[in-house]
């Protein structure tokens, strides 16, 4: 038996509880992992609070991230005692995830835990930091270098935004952070932001083309914000889009793309090929100032995850939440 958060649905409604689970209930997989740490992402909060159609089968253990130690394996790439981590692959949505003390998984979803990080540090980074690194790499691929001009980060107080600022600043970019929480300005400046702007300047309907400003941008907001970001890009600028906090719609025109050569790069972290994941985590080991993790992260126990998910949905949680599954 092990403890885990279990989501179920029946005729009486949607139920979420922390409970003891029999290992015999675990889904199919060729690697069993003793999970030491997981995270609480926006997607996990949607699943726990039932605010979005995240869970695709019931019962379900949420948690799109996990790190831990291999307990059993019939996969030749892993053996008992190996330290591993997982991000995405539909775990916590269609396959039991990381908000439990044990997970049974397919080895093709796992990568070795980089030596630079402890399990707790890897989960402090989690899908948010890994996605931010993929977005930075997309900007680099399209020639957005620090000398080209300012880079905008929207949704700056969220996990992806926080890591994007920290990584870009260490790489020498001048980062402008967009946030709706002016009280968090000091936090964003400590991460490396050179300037803070109010998200209201981007969140309302705008013009097809605006004054050129940004050489690059990382957007986790979507909707009007993404449209306005695209409209204010410099010639040959690149926007890496990886979220939809404001909405899934994209009320924009083709003008930035055909008149300024702007690139809109979609960042999918869930189904990313294994080598891309390994490359991104290698970059995180070299390009993320680990001292910033304490600013970005706070840790809770598994018993606190359900309440924290509700607070996250209410906008009361800053940065990253690491979940210690052993408490």
Model confidence band, residue 318 (pLDDT cutoffs 50, 70, 90) = confident
Q: In this predicted structure, what is the pLDDT of residue 134?
A: 98
**pLDDT reading at 11 higher than 90:** yes
Q: What pLDDT digit, counting tens, does each position of 219-234 carry? A: 999 999 999 999 999 9
CA distance to 61, 72, 129, 166, 296, per residue, from 197 (Å):
38, 50, 22, 17, 19
Give the closest residue to 120 by CA, choosing from 39, 64, 40: 39
Q: In this predicted structure, what is the pLDDT of residue 295?
A: 86
**% of the chain residues with pLDDT over 90:** 90
Least confident range from 9-18, 252-261, 292-301: namely 292-301
Give mean pLDDT, residues 235-261: 96
Q: In this predicted structure, what is the pLDDT of residue 42?
A: 86
Q: In this predicted structure, what is the pLDDT of residue 38?
A: 98
Q: What pLDDT digit, counting tens, does each position of 62-105 carry? A: 999 999 999 999 999 999 999 999 999 999 999 999 999 999 99
Q: In this predicted structure, what is the pLDDT of residue 304?
A: 97
Could you tell me where in the chain the CATH 3.90.180.10 domains are found? 2-113+294-324
Q: In this predicted structure, what is the pLDDT of residue 152?
A: 98
Task: Specify the fold of 2-113+294-324.
Answer: Quinone Oxidoreductase; Chain A, domain 1 (3.90.180)
Q: In this predicted structure, what is the pLDDT of residue 76?
A: 97
**pLDDT reading at 255 higher than 90:** yes
SS3 of the chain: helix, strand, coil, percent, to 5: 35, 30, 35
Contacts for 152 with CB less than 8 Å, ≥ 6 apart: 175, 176, 177, 178, 213, 214, 216, 217, 218, 219, 229
The chain-wide mean pLDDT, for the chain, equals 95
Inter-residue contact 89 to 274 (CB < 8 Å): no
Model confidence band, residue 241 (pLDDT cutoffs 50, 70, 90) = very high
Phi, psi of 175 (to 5 degrees): -105, 130
Q: What pLDDT digit, counting tens, does each position of 146-155 carry? A: 999 999 999 9
Inter-residue contact 151 to 214 (CB < 8 Å): yes
Q: Which CATH code of 3.40.50.720, 2.60.40.10, 3.40.50.1360, 1.25.10.10 fits the domain covering 127-266?
A: 3.40.50.720
Q: In this predicted structure, what is the pLDDT of residue 171?
A: 97
Model confidence band, residue 213 (pLDDT cutoffs 50, 70, 90) = very high
Give the closest residue to 129 by CA, choosing from 302, 309, 269, 317: 269
**pLDDT reading at 319 higher than 80:** no
**pLDDT reading at 203 higher than 90:** yes
Q: With helix as H, strand as E and coil as C, how does 71-96 read?
A: EEECCCCCCCCCEEEEECCCECCCEC
Which contiguous run of DSSP H or E holds residue 175? Answer: strand 175-179
Could you tell me where in the chain the CATH 3.40.50.720 domains are found? 127-266
Q: What pLDDT digit, counting tens, does each position of 126-184 carry? A: 999 999 999 999 999 999 999 999 999 999 988 899 999 999 999 999 999 999 888 88
């Amino acid at each position: 038996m092990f403890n885990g958060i279990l989501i179920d649905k029946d005729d009486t409604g949607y139920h979420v509880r922390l409970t003891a689970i029999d290992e015999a209930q675990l889904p199919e997989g060729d690697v069993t992992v003793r999970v030491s740490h997981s995270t609480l992402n926006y997607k996990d909060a949607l699943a726990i609070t039932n605010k979005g159609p995240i869970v695709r089968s019931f019962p379900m253990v949420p948690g799109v991230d996990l790190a831990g130690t291999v307990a059993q394996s019939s996969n030749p790439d892993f053996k008992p005692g190996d330290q591993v981590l997982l991000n995405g692959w539909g775990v916590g949505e269609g396959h039991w995830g990381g908000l439990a003390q044990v997970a049974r998984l397919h080895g093709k979803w796992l990568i070795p835990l980089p030596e630079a990080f402890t399990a707790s540090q890897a989960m402090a980074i989690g899908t948010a930091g890994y996605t931010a690194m993929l977005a930075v790499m997309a900007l680099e691929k399209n020639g957005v270098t620090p000398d080209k001009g300012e880079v905008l980060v929207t949704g700056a107080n969220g996990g992806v935004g926080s890591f994007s600022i920290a990584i870009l600043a260490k790489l020498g970019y001048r980062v402008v952070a967009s946030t709706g929480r002016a009280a968090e300005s000091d936090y964003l400046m400590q991460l490396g932001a050179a300037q803070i702007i109010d998200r209201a300047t981007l969140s309302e309907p705008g013009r097809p083309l605006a004054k050129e400003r940004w050489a690059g941008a990382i957007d986790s907001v979507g909707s009007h914000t993404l449209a306005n970001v695209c409209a204010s890009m410099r010639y040959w600028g690149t926007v890496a889009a990886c979220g939809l906090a404001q909405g899934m719609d994209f009320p924009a025109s083709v003008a930035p793309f055909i008149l300024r050569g702007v690139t809109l790069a979609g960042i999918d972290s869930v189904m990313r090929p294994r080598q891309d994941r390994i490359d991104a985590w290698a970059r995180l080991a070299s390009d993320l100032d680990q001292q910033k993790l304490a600013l970005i992260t706070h840790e809770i126990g598994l018993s606190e995850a359900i309440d924290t998910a509700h607070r996250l949905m209410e906008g009361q949680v800053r940065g990253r939440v690491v979940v210690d599954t052993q408490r």
